[in-house]
Structure 1
Amino acid sequence: MNRYCFCLQVKPDRLDEYVERHRDVWPDMQAALRDSGWHNYSLFLRDDGLLIGYVEADDLEAAQQAMAATEVNERWQAQMTDFFTGIDGRPPDESFLLLREIFHLTPAKD
C-alpha cells in the first residue's frame, strides 16, 4: 500500500464551515471512498487554512479516477470547490499538491 500526502488551501473565512461539513461526511461518500480504494484517509487543518491530507492507496491516480466516476463525488466536489483558494475552479480532488515522502518510521522487528 502506497502512502500519499497532499495539501490544499482553505479560505480563512470559510474554516469553521469547512470543519462543520466534515463532522458528518455523507455515508455514501464514505462508502464510495472505501470502494474506490482510499484507505486510512485523514485531513488535518491548520488555523491559517493549510489543509494536509493523508491517504493510503495501491494507486492514487486510479483511486481518484474511480471516485470521479461516482455521482456522490460529483455532488461533494461541487459543494467543496468554493472553500479553496488556488484551484482555479477545478474540483479540490483534482487539485492536490502532492508532497514527497522523505521519511517513514517502520515498525521495529522483534
Structure 2
Amino acid sequence: MNRYCFLLQVRPELLAEYTQRHARVWPEMLRALRDAGWTNYSLFARDDGLLVGYVEAESLERAQAAMARTDVNARWQAEMARFFTGLDDRRPDEGFLLLTPVFQLEQQLAALDD
C-alpha cells in the first residue's frame, strides 16, 4: 500500500463551514471512496486554511480515476469547489499538491531487522 500526502488551500473565511461539511460526508461518497481504493484517508486543517490530506492506496492515480467515474464525486467536487483557492479551474480532487515522503518509521525499523 502506498502513502500519499497532499496540500490544498481552503479559504480561511470558509474553513468553519468546510469543517462542518466534513463532519457528515454523504454516505454514498464515503462508500465510493472506499470502493475506489482510498484507505486511511484523513484531512487536517490549519487556522489559515492550509489543508493537509493523507491517504493510502495501491495507486493514487487509479483511485482518483475510479472516483472521477462516479456521479457522487462529480456532485461533491462541484459543491466543494467554492471552498478552495489556487485550483486554476481544476476540481479540488485534481488540485492536490503532492508532498515527497522523506521519513517513514516502520520502513527504517524494518531495515534494522534485515
Tell me which interval the TM-score lies in, with the shorter structure as reference length: over 0.9
Identity of aligned residues (%): 65
Q: Is the 8 A contact 1:81 1:89 kept in 2?
A: no
Corresponding residue of 2:63: 63
Displacement, 1:91? 0.5
Q: Which has the larger radius of gyration?
A: 2
Task: Quote the RMSD (CA, aligned, Å).
Answer: 1.3
Give structure 1 regions of 4+ aligned residues with deviation exceeding 6 angstroms.
none
Displacement, 1:89? 2.2
Instruction: Kindly indicate which of the two structures has a greater share of residues assigned to helix.
Output: 2
Displacement, 1:55? 0.1
Corresponding residue of 2:42: 42
Superimposed CA distance per residue, residues 33-53 of structure 1 (whole angstroms, 9 cap, x where no aligned partner): 000010000000000000000
How far apart, CA to CA, are the structure 2 residues paired with 1:60 and 1:28? Answer: 20
Displacement, 1:88? 1.5
How far apart, CA to CA, are the structure 1 residues paired with 2:36 and 2:26? Answer: 15
> Is residue 98 of structure 2 the alignment partner of residue 98 of structure 1?
yes
Superimposed CA distance per residue, residues 42-93 of structure 1 (whole angstroms, 9 cap, x where no aligned partner): 0000000000000000000000000000000000000000100000221100
For this pair of structures, how many residues does the alignment match? 110
> Is residue 8 of structure 2 the alignment partner of residue 8 of structure 1?
yes
The unaligned stretches of length 5 or more in structure 1 are: none
Aligned residue type for 1:72 = V
